């Protein structure tokens, strides 16, 4: 039927669908920001795989597995955004490069215009996003196929995605906590924030006001009854994203910290490259459970960092933005570097990692020697910060009043890392919490908050403060350098 002759209601619904998908649309030309062609990763290449199950969601499966992949390797599923394809994500995201480095397989699910006008995953459709239904089941079947095909480790399956793919990732983590050990949600709403086109608009522009317990209940309601073990979750958000507003990252933080039984005050805060601030929420054991990465000034897209450095990966393009390599940080957060590579070490974890002292800008560590160790790699958060032949180390150049998490791995004579030590945390001195009461406009001018789409959000926490104007007033408490929370009911620091 020609468009002019379709019923008016149909045309309105179709236009609304196009508007939602356009808002989440991620263009996919395979060129860099300089207009140069993108070189495909080396080794095996991207391969289409058929016969992976009943495929009720009508998706296509593509995969990349490095040559010589050992048995028991992890598997990562990476979901593209609207108007993109598996090949777009393969070419830009950096995941194939990391698969070569650490030794794991990557599956790239692909939807099409047959499912959705703009080739978006249908994250807001209950028939496609619930456990064992539609597209969600198709992705789960791909994970099963990859484990069978590559002899992978069923306990080390992870999922990540961008925008619409990120929203589907959030739903998959809730629907299949027994399948996915970890996830990374890039520029997307919380799990089950939407179940219609109307609610999809609302979530993207600013999710509903819910308590952490209410957000967490959406996950628990969609997970198998009795679930007690939950995936490790990373959240990535640009502070200048006007497509999926930064308030979504706050809601995701509330949702997944609540699911893990944690509070919403970070146990550690780190300043990373590319204008990125990391807030970590660790379990009582010290194991990381939730991490929220906020990239100052970054609009809608996936953070990449082209180059040959140890922490660089990906290539730039439309909605692939040169800031920091989010895929590298995510892989470390999931622990894909721990025995997942092609030559894993056998050395045991160093024992008794202890913080022996701190100053305003340093933290000193020591640990017990490991027999057979040629050196030790020291990790601050999820990134290696030093290698040393000693069993002591002093980290320098740290921020004042900031908590850092450290682990250490022994390295044998062949350069293979052993298991990671238990974590130790160090808090530098010199920071005094402060409080300021001012209008939303004044808070942004002073650098305590930022505005996006006419709304104001506290820097660091991302808490929604309302309209960006000189009339709305809030009290903000700075609980760590650059991290502000709303304290209208009373400021503990007394400022």
Helices 212-222 and 247-259, axial angle in degrees (round to 10):
70
Radius of gyration of the chain (CA): 22
In a domain, 349, yes or no: no
d(Cα 63, Cα 87) in Å, to the nearest integer?
A: 10
Distance in angstroms (rounded) separating the CA atoms of residues 459 and 181: 30
The C-alpha angle with vertex 95 and arms to 93 and 101, in degrees rounded to 5, equals 140
Please indicate, yes or no, whether residues 422 and 441 belong to a single structural domain of this protein. Answer: no
Q: Is residue 397 a contact partner of residue 367, using CB atoms and an 8 Å limit? A: no
Residue with tokens 């530098």: 428
Q: Which pLDDT does position 277 carry in this prediction?
A: 93
> Is the CB of residue 162 less than 8 Å from the CB of residue 83?
no
Do both 15 and 161 map to the same domain? yes
Domain count, the chain: 3
The three-class DSSP label of residue 328 is: helix
Q: Distance of CA 430 to CAs 370, 398, 494, Å?
A: 35, 11, 17
Last residue of a domain, one of 427, 442, 464: 427
pLDDT for the residue numbered 493: 55
Instruction: Give the start-end residues of each E strand in 102-172.
Output: 105-110, 157-162
- Closest C-alpha to 241, from 314, 295, 318, 316: 295
CA dist., res. 73 & res. 160, Å (int): 17
How many angstroms separate the Cα of 284 from the Cα of each of 200, 281, 354?
35, 10, 16
- Per-residue pLDDT, 42: 41
- 163, 326, 421, 461: the catalytic one is 163
Give Cα separations from 459 to 83, 233, 287, 445 (angstroms): 31, 21, 25, 12
Instruction: Give domain status of residue 322, yes or no.
Output: yes
Cα–Cα distance list, 299 to 5, 57, 205 (Å): 39, 30, 14
Considering the domain architecture, whether residues 422 and 449 belong to the same structural domain is answered as no
Element (H, E) at 300: none
Q: Identify whether residues 449 and 372 lie together within a single domain.
A: no
On whether residue 176 sits in a domain, the answer given is: yes
End position of a domain, from candidates 384, 406, 427: 427
User: Is there a contact between 320 and 299 (Cβ–Cβ < 8 Å)?
Assistant: no
pLDDT tens digits, one per residue of 75-127: 999 999 998 999 999 999 999 999 999 999 999 999 999 999 889 999 999 99
Instruction: For residue 5, give every residue at least 6 positions away whose Cβ sits within 8 Å of its Cβ, in sequence order, or none.
Output: none
Question: How are beta strands 47-49 and 60-64 bridged, if at all?
Answer: antiparallel
- Element (H or E) spanning 258, and its range? helix 247-259
Strand order in the sheet with 464-467: 449-452, 455-458, 464-467
Q: How far is it, in rounded angstroms, from Cα 12 to Cα 9?
A: 5
**Residue ranges making up the domain that contains 8:** 3-334
Which residue blocks in 321-469 are alpha helix, DSSP H?
Answer: 326-334, 440-445
Pairing of strands 75-79, 105-110: parallel
Q: Are 402 and 457 found together in one domain?
A: no
Q: Are strands 232-238 and 288-295 parallel, antiparallel or unpaired?
A: parallel
Residue 197 sits in the same domain as residue 141: yes
CA dihedral 138, 140, 144, 145 (to 10 degrees): 30
Question: Do residues 327 and 475 both lie within one domain?
Answer: no
Domain harbouring 421, CATH code: 2.60.40.10
Classify residue 414 by burial, with Cβ atoms within 10 Å: 0-12, 13-18, 19+.
Answer: exposed
136: in domain = yes
Strands 157-162 vs 75-79: parallel, antiparallel or unpaired: parallel
> What is the distance in angstroms between the CA of the first residue and the CA of the last residue of the chain?
66
- Asked if the structure places residue 216 within a domain, the reply is yes
Buried b (16+ CB within 10 A) or exposed e, 52-85: beebbbebbbbbbbbeebbebbbbbbbbbbbbbb
Asked, for residue 492, whether it belongs to a domain, the answer is no
Q: How far is CA 431 from CA 127, 360, 463, 479, in A?
A: 50, 8, 22, 9
Q: Which residues of the chain have pLDDT under 70?
A: 1-44, 338-345, 382, 492-495
The pLDDT score that the predictor gives to residue 24 is 45
142: in domain: yes
End residue of a domain, out of 300, 334, 368: 334
CA angle 383, 387, 391 (to 5 degrees): 115
Shared-domain flag, residues 101 and 224: yes
Residue 184 located in a structural domain? yes
Q: What is the CATH number of the domain that holds 189?
A: 3.40.50.1820
Do residue 364 and residue 444 come from a single domain?
A: no
Same domain, 421 and 330: no
**Considering all CA atoms of the chain, what is the largest pairwise distance in Å, rounded to the nearest integer?**
79
My answer on whether 125 and 260 are in the same domain is yes
The answer to whether 171 touches 286, Cβ cutoff 8 Å, is no
- For residue 355, the tally of other CB atoms under 10 A from its CB is 15
Q: Is position 489 annotated as part of the catalytic site?
A: no
Considering the domain architecture, whether residues 409 and 448 belong to the same structural domain is answered as: no
């Amino acid at each position: 039927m020609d468009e002019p002759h379709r019923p008016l209601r149909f045309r309105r619904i179709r236009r609304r669908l196009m508007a939602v998908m356009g808002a989440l649309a991620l263009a996919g030309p395979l060129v860099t920001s300089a207009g140069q062609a993108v070189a495909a990763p080396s080794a095996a290449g991207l391969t289409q795989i058929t016969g992976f199950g009943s495929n009720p969601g009508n998706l296509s499966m593509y995969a990349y597995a490095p040559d010589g992949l050992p048995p028991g390797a992890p598997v990562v599923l990476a979901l593209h955004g609207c108007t993109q394809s598996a090949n777009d994500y393969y070419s830009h995201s950096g995941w194939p490069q990391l698969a070569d480095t650490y030794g794991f397989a990557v599956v790239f699910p692909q939807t099409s215009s047959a499912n959705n006008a703009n080739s978006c995953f249908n994250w807001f459709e209950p028939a496609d996003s619930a456990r064992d239904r539609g597209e969600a089941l198709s992705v789960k079947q791909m994970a099963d196929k990859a484990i069978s095909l590559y002899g992978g480790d069923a306990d080390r399956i992870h999922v990540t995605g961008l925008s619409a793919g990120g929203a589907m990732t959030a739903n998959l983590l809730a629907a299949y906590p027994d399948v996915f050990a970890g996830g990374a949600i890039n520029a997307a709403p919380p799990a089950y924030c939407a179940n219609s086109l109307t609610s999809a608009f609302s979530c993207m522009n600013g999710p509903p006001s819910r308590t952490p317990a209410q957000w967490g209940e959406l996950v628990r309601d969609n997970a198998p009854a009795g679930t007690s073990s939950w995936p490790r979750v990373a959240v990535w958000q640009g502070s200048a994203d006007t497509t999926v507003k930064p308030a979504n990252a706050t809601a995701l933080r509330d949702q997944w910290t609540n699911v893990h039984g944690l509070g919403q005050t970070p146990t550690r805060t780190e300043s990373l490259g590319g204008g990125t601030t990391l807030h970590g929420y660790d379990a009582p054991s010290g194991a990381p459970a939730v991490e929220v990465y906020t990239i100052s000034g970054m609009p809608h897209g996936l953070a990449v960092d082209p180059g040959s450095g140890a922490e660089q990966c990906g290539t730039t393009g439309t909605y692939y933005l040169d800031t920091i390599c989010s895929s590298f940080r995510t892989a470390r957060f999931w622990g894909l570097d721990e025995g997942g590579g092609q030559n894993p070490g056998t050395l045991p974890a160093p024992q008794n990692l202890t913080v022996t002292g701190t100053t305003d800008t340093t933290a000193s560590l020591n640990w017990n020697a490991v027999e057979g160790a040629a050196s030790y790699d020291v990790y601050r958060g999820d990134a290696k910060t030093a290698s040393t032949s000693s069993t002591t180390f002093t980290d320098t150049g740290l921020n004042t009043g900031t908590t850092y998490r450290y682990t250490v791995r022994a390295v044998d004579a062949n350069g293979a890392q052993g298991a990671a030590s238990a974590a130790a945390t160090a808090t530098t001195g010199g920071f005094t919490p402060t409080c300021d009461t001012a209008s939303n406009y004044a808070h942004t001018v002073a650098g305590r908050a930022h505005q996006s789409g006419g709304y104001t959000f506290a820097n660091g926490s991302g808490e929604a403060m309302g309209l960006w104007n000189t009339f709305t007033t809030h009290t903000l408490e700075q609980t760590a350098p650059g991290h502000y929370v709303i304290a209208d009911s009373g400021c503990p620091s007394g400022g």
